[in-house]
Amino acid sequence: MNDAQRLPSYTLVVSCPDRVGIVAAVSRFVADRGGSLTESNHHTDVAQGWFFMRNVISAKSLSVSLKEFRDEFAPLAEELGMSWNLRDNNQLQRVVILASHASHCLADILHRWKSSDLACQIPCVISNHENLRSMVEWHGIPFHHVPVPKEDKSEAFRQVSEIIERHRAETIVLARYMQIIPPQLCSEYAGRLINIHHSFLPSFIGANPYLRAYERGVKLIGATCHYVTEDLDEGPIIEQDVIRVNHSCDKDDMVRLGRDVEQSVLSRGLRYHLEDRVIVRGNRTVVFTS
Amino acid sequence: MNDAQRLPSYTLVVSCPDRVGIVAAVSRFVADRGGSLTESNHHTDVAQGWFFMRNVISAKSLSVSLKEFRDEFAPLAEELGMSWNLRDNNQLQRVVILASHASHCLADILHRWKSSDLACQIPCVISNHENLRSMVEWHGIPFHHVPVPKEDKSEAFRQVSEIIERHRAETIVLARYMQIIPPQLCSEYAGRLINIHHSFLPSFIGANPYLRAYERGVKLIGATCHYVTEDLDEGPIIEQDVIRVNHSCDKDDMVRLGRDVEQSVLSRGLRYHLEDRVIVRGNRTVVFTS
Amino acid sequence: MNDAQRLPSYTLVVSCPDRVGIVAAVSRFVADRGGSLTESNHHTDVAQGWFFMRNVISAKSLSVSLKEFRDEFAPLAEELGMSWNLRDNNQLQRVVILASHASHCLADILHRWKSSDLACQIPCVISNHENLRSMVEWHGIPFHHVPVPKEDKSEAFRQVSEIIERHRAETIVLARYMQIIPPQLCSEYAGRLINIHHSFLPSFIGANPYLRAYERGVKLIGATCHYVTEDLDEGPIIEQDVIRVNHSCDKDDMVRLGRDVEQSVLSRGLRYHLEDRVIVRGNRTVVFTS
Amino acid sequence: MNDAQRLPSYTLVVSCPDRVGIVAAVSRFVADRGGSLTESNHHTDVAQGWFFMRNVISAKSLSVSLKEFRDEFAPLAEELGMSWNLRDNNQLQRVVILASHASHCLADILHRWKSSDLACQIPCVISNHENLRSMVEWHGIPFHHVPVPKEDKSEAFRQVSEIIERHRAETIVLARYMQIIPPQLCSEYAGRLINIHHSFLPSFIGANPYLRAYERGVKLIGATCHYVTEDLDEGPIIEQDVIRVNHSCDKDDMVRLGRDVEQSVLSRGLRYHLEDRVIVRGNRTVVFTS
């Protein structure tokens, strides 16, 4: 699954109205330039008449440069009405992480990053608390403390946005940030802003999901990784998972057990996003996991 | 876990306000009568100050009859403010099943019953359709067809209730019955009326959960076995489970995959209920699964 | 996932040495004949240099007949060194099931077949016991009783083979048949003979896996659906799954819990096989599950 | 589940030959001293005639000191032939961790420890490599580098043992230590030495389990947390889990996916051990998970 990331490679992702011959056209285009496919996934949404494709192409097999590939592919893409993206997998994405007081999701991402399990750059971490500074800085990553006062959050988010821009973040991760993002930033970072919600959405949208799960007496609790939109906890879902609980679990136990699900769901969702496995259409996602 | 069902045994289930000495008193009571415990589970809900216990007692180890046990236990139970129940596990519960058009949950229960995997009697099956008659009758079980006309359902439910009473059902199972049970029957059969809902509650309460799951783009779908109360899909949850889906699943695929979860969740929930593993308190359940 | 099965469609499965341009050549071939792809999966085994593809093609979109498609595709397949197969999904496969005394796997398959959940024909069931005759015949399927005497099994397997041949079975399913298949039949039916083993292989190869799982004290038990080869329980694995057990489970509980895993793993594995989602290479399988 | 750890409490664990009246005697003993049970689990192994019990007793409810409880309980325990242990949960266990080059299990344990998710002391970490020193020391924990030369490991293990003794470790964790522990240490630390093996035992005992899983073509890979005995990977199993893989996973992918299972299985197993939820009998364990 990851060979593509290990050797120089490009990932081509396209989506467009479905019609006969798209696969033929795209794969012919790649083959004509010597391109060897190490991964290839297609999906046709028959009901919606929409086509999705992800190809990982061995870089050294190609007879053209990335720029030439792009220039030559553009007319074909236009002809087929494609949304498309071609990424050089050697250019690691820049990911800015926002955290609050809780450490588990952030610690998990930082460890995966440090041990080269998650291929990205992390130019900085932003938090509204100071308590995680030492952990972040031990990893050699700058830490920005931006308090978010309850009475007026606009200046704080102006600062947050400025830091994100300054670090040229391509992806922003809310690692249990616990703050509602202003609508303007949601739309500005549409498809690039990833949240982990501590419930199996659409159950327990909003605050205190574990308490409400406890009170409802559910037998499984979960977590949801999704793109953030202006509608709280309503954005396109990337990944979800659950864990079993029972009557002996009080609310604190659920919080503790839930942490493990949160961090694994977030790290999987983030990986899918970074490897260009996720394509959003409407409020649903295509996720080519293998 | 099932030894109790294999050898003659009694199951004693109690719940009461928590205080020091309950376990001592109950287990002393049993030991004084020679009772050998083959299973014993306790739970203390510390927050609510409530105690729950389930004991399976080897029948042949006891020096007293079931009636004597009951008569002698009653004063202790009263002293401790207990709700309690003592069942002779050789007396199989009478379970009436209500089904509609879909066969999978009913077929699963009938097969488990026929192969002695589920210890109960099934005096009859009631359906608002005729299509499952042959399957039921092949199992040697009477089949009652009670159509439920849209315009006026009261006469139908009068008949359903009459059949349930006539067969002296202790437990009633809605095996994808797809009809809303009148409030009066819900309260009459409180704690004895079990439903399988085809979603992971509280997600997608009500109609068409698979369609709504599809539209929301969830990555897991589920099913919930619960006691029926007057509030639709809001009763105490006995068991839940989920299965993974992805973008390649359309709504019909979800229906198909969901069937497997529905039948396994219902059969597990029914088993727990029949083995007196479930204790309801408020809208939550204690389920002693092992 | 199943739209393909619902509308007239063909499934084209190919595997061959990997090289640049295979996808282009095959998809161009299909597109040139108007073929609309409703499902398409590729896999490149980079280490082995081998390519695998499965396409589901809408039948009515094609401008050529199935025979013409085959005739015209053959030269391309030969040029690329392909193993390939093209199936008309309207021609349901003929599946003969062998069972012994236990009913659960057989009952599950028969119910799925009867409720049109599993698309195949079942021309007959063969068993070395009589006890499942009534269940099979209620489904309208001929039942053949072929006892397998311990002292000499060769005549029994001659009969079994004759029945399989007479019914022109394409796929043979061992639904907990509990008999070792003679090597000659294993090789004759290579890639068409499917077994369910009641352990998570390679753990507990051979007899009494649940007893050995109990004795080893494992915390999960499982089941494995695999193609049968001459080496007992060593054939290519199609599907596996597990279920949690604990110290309160004795060996009989494991047998009971295991039955659910066995039947779900077998039915999933059989579905993948019938939908041509499984490609065997060496002792490993590619399974395009979505 | 964890209330016991939050308030001062004692955990009493007993096992003994089964007979009538054990629960009564023990719970009477506790109740007579005012002891309030916040958790209580029993298990009777009917086949072996053996009884297991774990009680968590609120410390402040008791009218006697820990020493008095022990002194007074001893005669009862002797009468019933009990193995027993009473722990003051405020006295955190001393856990020494041995690691090699891989960081994931160690990082996970250290993070849980630092965020008070895992209640223990970690007096030091021992490794045969230097690469994890900085991570360990950042947590404020001493790091001992003890190289283990291939030609003669006895001196290294003498040092390891000396460090373990010096730090008065009650529990020793092999967090992917990758060295075979000498038989003498295995027996010296019997029931206190915990390993994580990177396969679903008994599959793939010994070296290179992921490679062998890949070659066998299994559809799930797993990990096993077990007590170490002299027989490699054959000790009593505490916890296991699995994760799904498919044909697109090469051996490196399995290693990567397996890491997540390894660390979650190890941390769960270690938690069960530290909370005295695990009782070993023969080569099997009773694990009171709730």
Q: Report all structural domains of chain B as residue ranges with CATH numbers, in order of start.
A: 3-88 (3.30.70.260), 95-287 (3.40.50.170)
Q: How far apart are CA C243 and CA D242, in angstroms?
A: 10
Please report, in angstroms and rounded to a whole number, the separation of the first and last CA atoms in chain B: 6
- Asked whether the beta carbons of D276 and D287 are under 8 A apart, the reply is no
State whether A28 and C31 contact (CB < 8 Å).
no
Indicate if the pLDDT at residue C4 is higher than 70.
no
Catalytic hit among C117, C231, C233, C250: C233
| Stretch A13-17: mean pLDDT | 98
Tokens linked to A204? 């327990």
Tokens linked to C10? 């063909």
Structure confidence by residue, pLDDT tens digits, B118-159? 999 999 999 999 999 999 999 999 999 999 999 999 999 999
Query: Sign of dihedral through CA atoms C28, C32, C35, C38?
Result: positive
Single-letter code of the amino acid located at C53: M
Structure confidence by residue, pLDDT tens digits, B189-214? 999 999 999 999 999 999 999 999 99
The strand pairing partners of C175, in sequence order, are: C99
Q: How far apart are CA A270 and CA C232, in angstroms?
A: 42
Place of tokens 């073509």: D217
Catalytic hit among D71, D88, D231, D233: D233
Structure confidence by residue, pLDDT tens digits, B242-272? 999 999 999 999 999 999 999 999 999 999 9
Q: How far apart are CA C154 and CA C158, in angstroms?
A: 6
Q: How far apart are CA B147 and CA A157, in angstroms?
A: 61
Please count the residues of chain A. Answer: 290
Nearest residue of A to residue B212, measured between CA atoms = A202
Q: What count of Cα atoms within 13 Å lies in the side-chain half-sphere of residue D197? A: 26
- Pick among B5, B19, B23 to test the D interface (most D CBs inside 10 A): B23
The three-class DSSP label of residue B159 is helix
**Nearest CA to CA, how far is C244 from chain D (Å)?**
9
Going by their DSSP bridges, the two strands B220-227 and B237-244 should be labelled as antiparallel
State whether B107 and C111 contact (CB < 8 Å).
yes
Query: Sign of dihedral through CA atoms D164, D167, D168, D171?
Result: negative
* Contacts for C97 with CB less than 8 Å, ≥ 6 apart: C106, C109, C122, C125, C126, C172, C173, C175
State whether B286 and A200 contact (CB < 8 Å).
no
Which of B3, B20, B31 is nearest residue D36 as measured by Cβ atoms? B20
Single-letter code of the amino acid located at B30: V
Which of C43, C47, C200 is nearest residue D200 as measured by Cβ atoms? C200
| Stretch C2-23: mean pLDDT | 85
Is C39 an interface residue toward B (CB < 8 Å)? Answer: yes
> Which chains does chain C touch, 3 or more C-beta pairs < 8 A?
A, B, D
| Stretch A117-130: mean pLDDT | 97
- Asked whether the beta carbons of C55 and C33 are under 8 A apart, the reply is no
State whether C44 and A37 contact (CB < 8 Å).
yes
State whether C287 and D220 contact (CB < 8 Å).
no
Q: How far apart are CA C19 and CA B264, in angstroms?
A: 46
Indicate if the pLDDT at residue D2 is higher than 50.
no
Q: How far apart are CA B233 and CA B206, in angstroms?
A: 7
State the pLDDT confidence band at C220, using cuts at 50, 70 and 90. Answer: very high
State the CB neighbour count (10 A cutoff) for residue A154: 11
State whether C200 and D204 contact (CB < 8 Å).
no
Which of D216, D217, D242 is nearest residue C220 as measured by Cβ atoms? D242
State the pLDDT confidence band at C232, using cuts at 50, 70 and 90. Answer: confident
- Asked whether the beta carbons of A47 and C6 are under 8 A apart, the reply is no
Q: How far apart are CA B22 and CA B74, in angstroms?
A: 14
- Asked whether the beta carbons of C173 and C95 are under 8 A apart, the reply is yes
State whether D2 and A252 contact (CB < 8 Å).
yes
Q: Where are the alpha helices (DSSP H) in C14-149?
A: 22-32, 66-80, 104-114, 133-138
Nearest residue of A to residue C53, measured between CA atoms = A40
Tokens linked to C179? 């008999």
State the pLDDT confidence band at A6, using cuts at 50, 70 and 90. Answer: low
How high is the mean pLDDT of chain B? 95
Which residues of A participate in catalysis according to the annotation?
233
Indicate if the pLDDT at residue B4 is higher than 70.
no
State the pLDDT confidence band at C2, using cuts at 50, 70 and 90. Answer: very low
Share of chain A above pLDDT 70, in %: 98
Q: How far apart are CA A138 and CA D107, in angstroms?
A: 13
State whether B37 and D28 contact (CB < 8 Å).
no
List all residues of chain B from 3 to 32 with a beta carbon under 8 Å from chain A.
none
Nearest residue of A to residue B235, measured between CA atoms = A216
Indicate if the pLDDT at residue A99 is higher than 70.
yes
Residue D7's pLDDT is what? 83
Size of interface C-D (CB pairs under 8 A): 88
**Nearest CA to CA, how far is A250 from chain C (Å)?**
22
**Nearest CA to CA, how far is B206 from chain C (Å)?**
25
Place of tokens 């009493």: D12
Structure confidence by residue, pLDDT tens digits, D11-30? 999 999 999 999 999 999 99
Is D131 an interface residue toward A (CB < 8 Å)? Answer: no
Chain D residues close to A3, C-beta within 8 Å: 250, 252
Widest CA span in chain C: 62
- Asked whether the beta carbons of D78 and D233 are under 8 A apart, the reply is no
Q: Where are the alpha helices (DSSP H) in chain C?
A: 3-6, 22-32, 66-80, 104-114, 133-138, 154-166, 183-188, 209-216, 251-274
Structure confidence by residue, pLDDT tens digits, C140-185? 999 999 999 999 999 999 999 999 999 999 999 999 999 999 999 9
Catalytic hit among B233, B241, B252, B276: B233
CA angle C282, C284, C287 (to 5 degrees): 125
Chain C residues close to A41, C-beta within 8 Å: 41-42
Chain A residues close to D134, C-beta within 8 Å: 138
Tokens linked to A48? 């919606």
Place of tokens 């008949």: B159
Chain B residues close to A217, C-beta within 8 Å: 236-237, 283-285
Chain B residues close to A43, C-beta within 8 Å: 247-248
**Nearest CA to CA, how far is C285 from chain D (Å)?**
7
Indicate if the pLDDT at residue A4 is higher than 90.
no
Is D34 an interface residue toward B (CB < 8 Å)? Answer: yes
- HEC letters along A27-70: HHHHHHCCCCEEEEEEEEECCCCEEEEEEEEEHHHCCCCHHHHH
Tokens linked to C97? 């099931």
Phi/psi for A202 (5° steps) reads: -85, 15
Q: Which helix (H) or strand (E) holds B221?
A: strand B220-227
Tokens linked to A189? 């970072």
Q: Where are the alpha helices (DSSP H) in B129-193?
A: 133-138, 154-166, 183-188
Torsion angle (degrees, nearest 10) of CA D226, D227, D232, D234: -70
State whether C31 and A44 contact (CB < 8 Å).
no
State the pLDDT confidence band at B232, using cuts at 50, 70 and 90. Answer: confident
Q: How far apart are CA C194 and CA A87, in angstroms?
A: 43
Structure confidence by residue, pLDDT tens digits, A228-267? 999 988 999 999 999 999 999 999 999 999 999 999 999 9
State whether B24 and D21 contact (CB < 8 Å).
no
Q: How far apart are CA C203 and CA C222, in angstroms?
A: 9
Is A131 an interface residue toward D (CB < 8 Å)? Answer: no
Residue B2's pLDDT is what? 45
Tokens linked to D170? 């009650």
- Pick among C1, C37, C56 to test the B interface (most B CBs inside 10 A): C1
